[in-house]
Structure 1
């Protein structure tokens, strides 16, 4: 895979040290120095810098709570999350189904970033979709939470006037490291997590963040920054998601910046056709999630995303997991289609088929979460 690509070292620290005390110091240096350094590089050069974290005095309005859903197995909640900024108010509409177990225990949850038509997250369940199979999640004991990414920020080039950008961007010309739409969606995921921490039916220590394609890119960036997410699952996220940029087949940095100029910071366009000049690569983004469990999924016919580059990122991120006392991906050769790797801190599968998110993918995410988040 990419034998001549100049791929940065996943860490600047020794992965293994003969002396246990030295290894512990190396792990502490990763947490204290290397991890913040890499986060800053990704902000400066790719995803951009958000001008706000958790805004003061957020409002969580539960506009509906009703039982009897999914043949009596779930309670449905609709929540409006409102955040006031100098330019207005950002509102994220969160939909949540919580298992009705009759037990006092709190449920683990999957928070999903929906980037397709809103019908995929139909609250009345008249139209069910494998893209977000809420019934399957509830049946496995997980709460199913979802919001549409366009609640956080529109998925078109609007000049950054609406959504979280409109509410929180400072006046005047935008800096070349100002946040793009992907970063705004990741910010929205953290704001949904703010609410989930307050919900009496949710175990906030066991919340997984999941996304597909552009939503998978946002899930990775959100999970890298926000360590409250106990697990991150990225499906078919490809360029500027889980796939190595250097030597990548299919979609390149130039391709993605031309087609989606609003997704990343302006500085990222400097690397169009110049992947080797980037100070980071995507395996280091995956490493930022360590030692929390991470699941990356590819598809055999998704050449635009480049499954080989996605799997290589998992291999190259594994030293960070090992440094922190956890196995990375459990094989160094990409597995056969429909043969998941679930034993390590990085899980992976290559699904037969094209660029999509299916019930098969969700079942594998839940299998992995059962092992590494609930076990």
Structure 2
């Protein structure tokens, strides 16, 4: 059995090596393809007004993404109760208010709980908020000793001291560089974050996250058109927004959906499916997020579905190595966020996420924003590195790698000050 396991693991590693060794990073090797027109319906009708977009085109695009990419949520699941686990009006050396709020959901005889860590300015007004998931627990985004360590399953990470899939004190503050808490607070915004593994553990197992609360009798995994993990995480962001509508310290009409990498894919889908989000930020979201799939540059649909089969619905597998069959592309996902402000950001050293594809996606989504009289990425010429374009649809490519930096947050805050706050 051990020999068989080793053999299977070796085949998996070999397949990943082969996939990455065949990855295209040469712009001249990008295949020619037709950009699906966001303003042309599937039956060939040209959309010429906001009314037609909202009544005809937007619903059919949303339905396609639901049924064939991220998966549809089988039915609604609302907050059963919420509990303020801890709060302090003099957190971070007296600079902020801190709340740790647990949301509870019950169905099918099962219970799901997840905790939102919230920092707010001490200004006694309703605050706009950046909402985003973190990868290794709320305690990793700050050195604050009062932040509760999650007991949920986590991916092992030797550098974070995570063994046996268990989060510990050793990882406290390991990701402070990704969360510019002081900058956010100083600008008059709150920050809310959730450990994504509490909503759905990031592994190909649909028995231990929110999915099981909505299964039919004898069901043990989603149906081919039903939600994968990205849709589940997006659902969790929307339920956090439900809570914010009850919190007198938060302006729920000014909540910005933020995410990095796979959680950038999540923030985009959350913003597309829940129009209550006042703005959306995609940070290095790449394949299945902001970048154009049909370019086949960097990570491809075949690779992402093989490595992370639980992220999308099973129907999405039909487009692996078959991107040309897609009647849509990711710029149409971005267009679903219109007319709300959208920020797409790339990193020069993150070719796996295809920065040019992310930029072009923002450009091609702009024509929908133009319907609303909003300005976006009007040119096909990428800006120089570290020279952002700030409009209702904004974009920058910065120096550095796949990460979130102070440079990113500086620009998100400037953008939000103009287009959201």
Shift of 1:87: 4.7
1:248/1:309 contact within 8 Å kept = no
CA apart distance, 1:83: 1.2
Is residue 2:33 matched to residue 1:10?
no
Matches within 5 A, 1:1-375: 4-12=32-40, 26-55=49-78, 58-101=80-123, 103=124, 105-116=125-136, 118-122=138-142, 124=144, 127=173, 129-158=176-205, 160-173=206-219, 174-342=222-390, 344-374=391-421
Shift of 1:216: 0.1
Q: Find the aligned partners of 1:345 and 1:218 in 2 and give their Cα distance.
A: 20
* Structure 1 residues 118 and 77: CA distance shift in structure 2, 3 A: closer
1:195 is paired with a residue of what secondary structure? helix
Q: Secondary structure at the match of 1:246?
A: helix
Moved more, 290-299 or 59-68: 59-68
Distance 1:234 1:124, change over 3 A: same
Give the direction of change, closer, same or farther, for the CA distance of 1:87–1:7 in structure 2 (3 Å limit): farther
Q: Deviations over 1:221-265 (max 9, x none)?
A: 000000110000010000000000002311000000010011000
CA RMSD of aligned residues (A): 1.7
**Structure 2 CA distance for partners of 1:170 and 1:303, relative to 1, 3 Å:** same
Distance 1:163 1:116 in 2: 16
Deviation at 1:117, TM superposition (A): 5.2
Counterpart of 1:304 in 2: which secondary structure? helix
Query: For the Cα contact (< 8 Å) 2:281–2:344, is it kept in 1?
Result: yes
Whichever of the two has the greater Rg, that structure is 2
Q: Which moved more, 1:187-196 or 1:323-332?
A: 323-332
C-alpha distance 176-293 of structure 1, shift in aligned 2 (>3 A): same
Aligned position for 1:17 = none
> Deviations 1:3-46 (Å, cap 9, x if unpaired)?
72122112227xxxxxxxx95xx211111121111110001110
Compared CA separation, residues 182 and 123, structure 1 to 2 (3 A): farther
In the alignment, structure 2 segments of 5+ residues that lack a partner are 1-26, 42-46, 146-171
Question: Relative to structure 2, which stretch is displaced further, 119-128 or 365-374?
Answer: 119-128
TM-score by length of 2: 0.82
Secondary structure in structure 2 of the residue aligned to 1:130? helix
Q: Distance in 1 between matches of 2:109 and 2:409?
A: 38
Corresponding residue SS for 2:353: coil
Gaps of 5+ in 1: 14-21
Q: Cα distance, 1:330 vs. partner?
A: 4.6
Q: Distance in 2 between matches of 1:114 and 1:331?
A: 33
- Matched position secondary structure for 1:146: strand
